[in-house]
Structure 1
Amino acid sequence: MRGRGDGGGEGREVGPGTVVTPSAEFPPLDQEELGALRRIGEHWRVPPDGAPPDPERLPLDPTLERSRAEPAPGRFGRLAPIAMFTAGEPGELVATEPANIPGTRAGRALSRCRRAMFGPPLTSAAVLYERMRKLVALPVLSSDLLSSVAYGPEAMLTVLVLAGGGALGLSLPLTALLAVLMVTVGLSYRQTVVAYPHGAGSYVVALDNLGVRPGLAAAAGLMVDYVLTVAVSVAAGVHAVTSALPSLARYTVPLGLLTILVLLAGNLRGVRAAGNLFVWPTYAFIVALLAVLLVGYARAGARGFEPVPPPPVPATEGLGLLLVLRAFASGAVSMTGIEAVSNAVPAFRRPEWRNARTTLSWMIGMLVVLFVGLTVLIHLTGLVPTPEKTLLSQLARATFPTGPWYALVQAATALILLLAANTAFNGFPRLLFFMARAGHAPRRFLHMGDRLAFSNGLIALAVTAGVVFLVFRGRTEALIPLYAVGVFLAFTLSQSGMVVHWHRRRNRGWRRRAAINALGALLSGLVLVTAAITKFTEGAWVVVVAVPLLVLLALAIHRHYRRLQRSLALHPPPDGRRPGPALTAVPLPGAAEPGAPAEAQELPQQVRHLVVVPVARLNRASLRALAYAASLRQPTLAVHIAPEDPEADRFREQWEAWGDHVRLETIVSPYRTSIGPLAHYLEALHASRPDVLLTVVVPEVVVRGPWQRLLHSRAEHRLRRALRALPGVVVTSLPVHLAD
């Protein structure tokens, strides 16, 4: 698979064999780039009046070594090697603690609170130990899949009951078909885990085998699914709570948003911490449902498995094929989360792929048992969906009419539903990681936070899901119609990609594997088409519109990174030619002689300087800026913006009194603006000689408190923003600290 990244990382192989580590944020140079770099280095020459030719001649010791005879360090002594750095390899220091030390009392307090909430930072080497064993991975990755049986059967029966109580009997054949679909898709993803042992969800598989746009369509479908997983799971969990405690119904939205925040905080603590936090609710839910099934079937067996007639329900729609297909698509939401294991293979302990495949098999087995068992037991008990109570709540009350067991079942159900979104918190950031690695998402999603979690992806998911939950007011029935389209689009494209994968390799047994994936793609495609058509007017149109928009956004991001790579690519001088000013890294239109445009200069002998110092008044700050500019041994120009001619004359007199050591240019601004005329003047200078690099030295007063910033104009920041879009201009801030 060809992937693209940003600056220098674009265009190299980033196939699925790449291991997820913090180094992924800093991709290495490929052989072609290394060759270009060597050729550039051969022509590297330092001008005689520039930096010392000997790289060892520096005015200080970069190793920070200090003898004991020297005096103790002052304010910044904590940055000394004893406190923060240790010697590593030659020419290398190793930071022994996080370097982000807040400078204010409020910042230090915030840092302590953050460490108390999320734990101390982990070293990059700890990524090898932040793995999950199978008993932890099962609840972490299956919470979404298994919890969906709490609302999947109800979603199917809610559609069937529209045709009256007599139509509820169709739930049994539909359940059998759904069980076949679950097993088929599960077997297909087992093969994906083996074929892509370093982690590959639908996006990577489709991108690798079907092309860019199918891969992005799969990614877009998954992104929508992950967001809806959080919103639907939290909504269903809050509904389970309010079913047992109706007085809390008015707090649905605050409870849901609070749950999303708890999930975010738990996952920001890292993979292992999140696993330890969410392991027990999942196992408690499994035990609770198994208890319901055992007791319920025992009671049904005592009466000869004779179904209890459901209460009469008037039909509001006719029983037809369209309604049956809607019910089938609604029940299929119980399959969301199957892909989580294939996407998170690197999070398993070694051997990763074998442990992942075993965990996936357990998940599929439990899903089929719970889904089929609950649907059949609901049929035998004669229950029908009602707005007041969930079907699982009714079943638990019918199974345990007395004692504390009903409350325990409801508590376990509420916990697993509230925490089921954890699967999305595991999968969504990894999906963005794979997309960012290929240049289809912002590269900030490659970054691992203090706890080796993809913090930016986690925060993005929490914010988006919170907005969706707020917009739909936490109503599960309003969110369910949006649910199946995105995930089954990803299923279909992933399994189709696996068929192409096996056909390309044609190793032993490839026909059998391709047949399994083809069947999974066919069944998933049928559910996709059914859900898109039957639920389009109920809200599925939102997903149908969102997926193409996300694809277009990903393509735009990719184009930006390609343009960035072309701008930053290494273009060495051709062999056999002597480098000179005419040799440029990237030819730019309108380049003026005698040299290359400033932003195309990558050899020291090509660079021509002009240092510009804006001077508002002659004081200690401006004189320091002028002294700094003169010390660079480059041509220097001072510029003064005057509001009227008399002030310009007075400033020139002061300048001559100083000694006129630097060429001064005065600009009269009768409209009393300074940033605009100065920026236009610098732009005119650049246009007259594009080969001259303009270095603007701006003195900046550093204040102690945030409130003191309001007392200053902050002109240097406005100037920096004005000059940011101007090529060939460097803005250097010279800080001036206030005296005590």
Structure 2
Amino acid sequence: MKSSIKRYLIGRPLKSNELGEQKLNKTKALAILSSDALSSVAYGPEQILLVLVTIGAAAFWYSIPIAVGVLVLLLALILSYRQIIYAYPQGGGAYVVSKENLGVNYGLVAGGSLLVDYILTVAVSVSAGTDAITSAFPSLHSHNILIAVLFVLFITTLNLRGVTESASILAYPVYLFVIALFIMIGAGMYKIFTGQVTEALHSPIGTPVAGISLFLLLRAFASGSSALTGVEAISNAIPNFKDPAPKNAAKTLAAMGTLLAILFSGIVLLAYYYGISPNEQETVVSQIAESVFGRNAVYYFIQFTTALILVLAANTGYSAFPLLAVNLAKDKFIPRMFTIRGDRLGYSNGIITLGFASILLIIMFKGHTESLIPLYAVGVFIPFTLSQTGMILKWLREKPAGWRVKLAINATGAAISFIVSLMFFLTKFTQVWPVLVFLPLTILLFHRIKRHYEAVGDQLRIASCEAATPIEGNVMIVPVAGITHVVENSINYAKSLNADQIIAVYVAFDREEEKKFAEKWAKWQPDVRLVTLHSQYRSIIQPLTKFVDIVEHKSKEMNYRVTVVIPQFIPKEGWHNILHNQSSFLIRAFLLYRRDVIVTTVPYHLKK
């Protein structure tokens, strides 16, 4: 039954040689890898206004020069990541660049930041999408968390079906969103140019504003730069592109940058000219759409597509997180399970981990997008800064043709990214301080995992100095709970191995019961030695493991190996297991960590 449900949800398994069919063309890649960056225009301009509103509506004109600064940073990042795509076509983005040019720990800072950031991508995107829905339908506001969790489960399932299939479905909402915003921006600008928007709605550009400061403007710039989250995703996901992968990835990156610049600029300008002020009950995009069209079908179309892309922007995380996890896992910094492809040739362990972590985060933050965005943004700009700095060192070291121009691009990106990161720490420390805790802990965990894998490799390698101890005999211990076919099956198995000695062990809670069982055993299996253990505290595990330890200690002196043969019956139906105690499972769990004890289970399958 479980297998049927799995097939229904994620589809039939794909053969390994079908991997090429799971590669993305530029059109699908733009949808699936740019959805995070494009969706951020729905809240990036709003973050600028949230800072400026503390001074007053008269300060809103500053959003325009701040937006120009954000666009300069966007251009620097697009040009820089284009260079990274060609320099590191195997993918990995900021992690690989930082590791190879700055050192392992810097690479781990970038990799750890991005892993957490992709979790935040899902949480922020879904939370923002849920906010867009409840802005249009206020009666749903109390169900924000439930709606967000259901969206995460849907997107996780969709990605488990494979990259190509999820991209085919998600391309439509992304392009619908782009069309909807182009319609809104075009209609809004037309009304401005034709004089249908009164100048009383906004203060003139250049109006002096009391209380404005460079610090506040930098804070607004840093907040607005949250619109650039997701720019690095394409450089991480180059292996997902059809050949020639680097060339296709670079073109997709340029297309994403162009669309992002147009949409971001348009929303900032409309918000300024229409005098939009941010509030908790309605998003800035919703207010702009209502001001331009009123609450008609076009308004609801814009809100619907905005909600869709905000939710589906999470898919950028699902595309990039598993590939980044693969790079870290190959370097042995996270569990190797992240390198395994699932039935649909996607890295399903990474997808499931991302979905679970995102749901946990949504519940912890109660779906409040504004609480997540600063943490989300600073997690992006740390890798931005490191990757740009790494590329600077690469150009200085290699000095290829045109390296000075490349150096200038990366230096600009590194400087601005560093300033933005610094501003987040200075102005939103109460919201971003967890970064200072989880990054050192994450790096420590990465190194612990790496040391474990190295230690395992050293001990398993045949060439290691530790020689295997020769085994000269075998003592088999069979825990028995009664005289049954299950026990008979296990005893027969033990006899077939020609062990030097077979010992059946029975743990009794009552002296009379112990005596009766010994008599029955002597008649049933006279050639198999029975040891009965009395348990005063009704524990099976304690007396059994103590007995095994005694036998193991004596056997070690003769270079004998102790094998514990555990009888276990397997019910016909899986749910029947809850009707029986799990003594065999507990015995196995306790004995597996005995250094020189072999544990084997002999199953007996029930037929009804």
TM, length-normalised to structure 1: 0.76
Could you tell me how far 1:134 is from its partner in structure 2?
Answer: 0.3
1:123 aligns with 2:15: yes
Q: Which runs of 5+ in 2 are unaligned?
A: none
Which residue in 1 is equivalent to 2:58? Answer: 166
Are 2:125 and 2:313, in contact at CA under 8 Å, matched by a contact in 1?
yes
Does the 8 A contact of 2:36 with 2:125 survive in 1? yes
- Take 1:654 and 1:412, find their aligned partners in 2: how far apart are those partners? 76
Q: Secondary structure at the match of 1:162?
A: coil
Q: 2:544 aligns with which of 678, 682, 685?
A: 678
- Superposition pairs of residues 237-316 of structure 1, within 5 angstroms: 237-303=129-195, 307-310=199-202
Aligned counterpart in structure 1 of residue 398 of structure 2, from 505, 512, 516: 505
Match of 2:602 in 1: 734
Q: Deviations over 1:592-650 (max 9, x none)?
A: xxxx7xxx34xxx6564333333455554434333322221231231434547776666
Q: Give the structure 1 partner of residue 291 of structure 2.
A: 398
CA contact (8 A) 1:694 1:729 kept: yes
Partner of 1:661: 527
Contact kept? 1:641, 1:674, Cα under 8 Å:
no
Which amino acid is 1:611 matched to?
M
CA deviation vs aligned residue, 1:632-672 (integer Å, no higher than 9, x gap): 12312314345477766666655655675345555555555
The amino acid of 1:687's aligned partner reads H
Conserved? CA contact 2:507–2:543, under 8 Å: no
Letter in 2 for 1:469: I
Give the partner amino acid of 1:704.
Answer: K
Change (3 A) 1:214 1:662: same
- 2:270 pairs with one of 372, 377, 400: 377
Deviation at 1:357, TM superposition (A): 0.6
- CA deviations 1:151-191 (Å, max 9, x no partner) are 10111011011111222121122111111100001111101
Whole-angstrom distance in 1 between the partners of 2:280 and 2:327: 41
Contact 1:244/1:410 (CA < 8 Å) preserved in 2? yes
Is 1:557 aligned to residue 422 of structure 2? no
TM superposition shift of 1:739: 6.2
The answer (yes or no) to whether the contact 2:170–2:312 under 8 Å persists in 1 is yes
Give the aligned partner of residue 495 of structure 2. Answer: 630
Q: Would the alpha carbon gap of residues 627 and 465 (structure 1) be closer, same or farther in structure 2, given more than 3 Å must change?
A: closer
Which residue of the partner structure matches residue 614 of structure 1? Answer: 479
Q: Specify the SS of the correspondent of 1:694.
A: strand
Corresponding residue for 2:571? 703
| Aligned twin of 2:320 | 427
Query: Contact 1:637–1:665 (CA<8 Å) still a contact in 2?
Result: no
Counterpart CA distance in 2 for 1:450 and 1:137 is 22
Partner SS state of residue 433, structure 2: helix
Give the SS at the match of 1:349: coil
Inter-CA distance 560–298: structure 2 relative to 1 (3 Å threshold): same
1:641–1:669 Cα contact (<8 Å) kept: no
Which residue in the other structure is 2:90 paired with? 198
Residue in 1 that maps onto 2:73:
181
Equivalent residues in 2 for 1:568-607 (5 A)?
568-571=460-463, 587=466, 600-601=468-469
SS of equivalent to 2:89: coil
Task: Give the direction of change, closer, same or farther, for the CA distance of 1:211–1:689 in structure 2 (3 Å limit).
Answer: farther
**% identical equivalent positions:** 40
What secondary structure is seen at the aligned counterpart in 2 of 1:129? helix
Q: Does 1:454 align with 2:347?
A: yes
Query: Is 372-381 or 144-153 further displaced after alignment?
Result: 372-381
Alpha-carbon distance change, 462 to 670 in structure 1, aligned in 2, over 3 angstroms? closer
1:328-367 map, 5 Å: 328-367=221-260
Q: How does 1:478-557 map to 2 (within 5 A)?
A: 478-537=371-430, 539-557=431-449
1:437-490 deviation digits (Å, cap 9, x = unpaired)? 211112222222211122222222222222222232222222223222111011
Structure 1, unaligned runs of 5 or more: 1-106, 572-584, 588-595
Distance change (3 Å), C-alpha of 1:384 and 1:669: closer
Task: Provide, for residues 215-273 of structure 1, a one-character-per-residue CA deviation record: whole Å limited to 9, x for no partner.
Answer: 12112211222122222222222222222222222222222222212211211111011
- In structure 2, the CA distance between the partners of 1:654 and 1:258, relative to structure 1 (3 Å rule), is closer
3-state SS of 2:414 partner = helix
Deviates more, 1:175-184 or 1:727-736: 727-736
Aligned-partner Cα distance in 2 for 1:294–1:431: 38
User: For 1:443, which of 317, 336, 339 is the aligned residue?
Assistant: 336
Using the size of structure 2 for normalisation, the TM-score is 0.92
Q: Return closer, same or farther for 1:385/1:310 CA change in 2, 3 Å cut-off.
A: farther
1:513 partner amino acid: K
Q: Which residue of 2 aligns with 1:319?
A: 212
Question: 1:737, 1:238 → 2: CA distance?
Answer: 49
Distance 1:670 1:247, change over 3 A: closer
Distance 2:92 2:499 in 1: 54
Moved more, 323-332 or 252-261: 252-261
Measure, in 2, the Cα distance between the counterparts of 1:440 and 1:340.
Answer: 21
- Cα 1:190–1:715 change in 2 (3 A) is same
Aligned match of 1:104: none
Please give the alpha-carbon distance, in whole angstroms, between the structure 1 residues aligned to 2:593 and 2:370.
Answer: 50
2:41 corresponds, among 131, 143, 149, to 149
What SS does the aligned partner of 1:680 have? helix
Query: RMSD over aligned Cα, in angstroms?
Result: 2.7
CA distance in 1, matches of 2:529, 2:295: 95
* Residue 560 of structure 2 corresponds to residue 692 of structure 1: yes
Q: Are 2:92 and 2:323, in contact at CA under 8 Å, matched by a contact in 1?
A: no
Change (3 A) 1:135 1:688: same
CA-to-partner distance for each residue in 1:268-298, whole Å, 9 max, x for gaps? 1110111011101111111122222222222
Once residues 499 and 210 of structure 2 are traced to their aligned partners in structure 1, the CA distance between those partners, rounded to angstroms, is 85
Gap change, CA 1:718 and 1:201, over 3 Å in 2 = same
- Contact 2:506–2:530 (Cα < 8 Å) also in 1: no
Counterpart of 2:88, as a letter, is: Y
Q: Given the superposition, is the C-alpha separation of residues 317 and 129 from structure 1 closer, same or farther in structure 2, using an over 3 Å criterion?
A: farther
Q: How many aligned residue pairs are there?
A: 602
Structure with more helix by fraction: 2
Is the contact made by 2:41 and 2:227 (CA closer than 8 Å) also made in structure 1?
A: yes
Q: What secondary structure sits across from 2:316 in the alignment?
A: helix
SS in 2 for 1:297: helix
**Structure 1 position 722 matched with structure 2 position 587:** no
**In structure 2, distance between residues paired with 1:152 and 1:661:** 80
Query: Match of 1:350, SS?
Result: coil
Equivalent residues of 2:80, 2:409 under 8 A apart: yes
